[in-house]
Amino acid sequence: MAADELNCPNFPEPKAKVQWVAPYMLFNGVPMSVKRFDSEQKPEEILAFYRRAWAASPGNPAAVENTVDPWQTIGVVRGKCFFTVQVQPAGKTGSTGLLSATQAPDKPRVIAADKVLPMMSGTTVINDIEHRDDGKTARTLLLSNTFSAESNASFYRQTLADQGWQIVSSYQMATAKGPGITLVMKRQMAEANLVITREGVNTMVLANLVDKP
């Protein structure tokens, strides 16, 4: 696995069927790439492969392992990159897992103008993921604040409209945790989808901004 866009050293792959999950994305501002693998080898064989590949050497620290059921994890730092392998049993004797590479950012993150999302005061960003797929880029955010769902919806209807977004649809929906509001807005080729739901004392805003839907 060569994470070229991350400028990382080579990421060795086990004997397995490997496919991309995300060739490049930003997770809370940190560059990341992720692959999935399915192997006929047992989890212990996968871990043994990486213990050998990532054995300690001059200038290179040894790998670190831990277990959070059902996953077993092994990770290592190489240069500015952190490689992680998560593996668990699959089928009768095989395994499945994820290979992820993250890189320490070299410079402050700059968010493109069409991916900037205004937020109400006191809003907490829980997750912020930016990814590229099939010639388009998207940014997905999960936000939390204490304002009502309708107050959040009104804020985004007005604030995004002031930024040139047009409302395509806005409707109420029922969820397992109570009523929610969905907004779909467009600005030229870009599209914004927001799902706003109340969960206990907080309101959650799941926003997806895509430049070419």
Residue 213 predicted with pLDDT over 70:
no
Residue 3 predicted with pLDDT over 50:
no
Kindly report the CA angle at 56 between 54 and 57, in degrees rounded to 5? Answer: 110
> What confidence score (pLDDT) does residue 1 get?
44
Q: For the domain bounded by 4-103, which CATH number is listed? A: 3.30.310
> What confidence score (pLDDT) does residue 166 get?
95
Task: State the chain's maximal CA–CA distance in angstroms.
Answer: 60
Residue 153 one-letter amino acid: A
Q: Can you list the alpha helix ranges (DSSP code H) found in 28-138? A: 43-53
Q: Are 199 and 177 in contact (CB under 8 A)?
A: yes
Question: In the chain, where are the structural domains located?
Answer: 4-103, 113-210
The domain over range 113-210 is classified in CATH as 3.40.1000.10: yes
Looking at 19-33, 100-114, 180-194, which range is the least confident one? 100-114
Name the phi and psi angles at 24, rounded to 5.
Answer: -160, 130
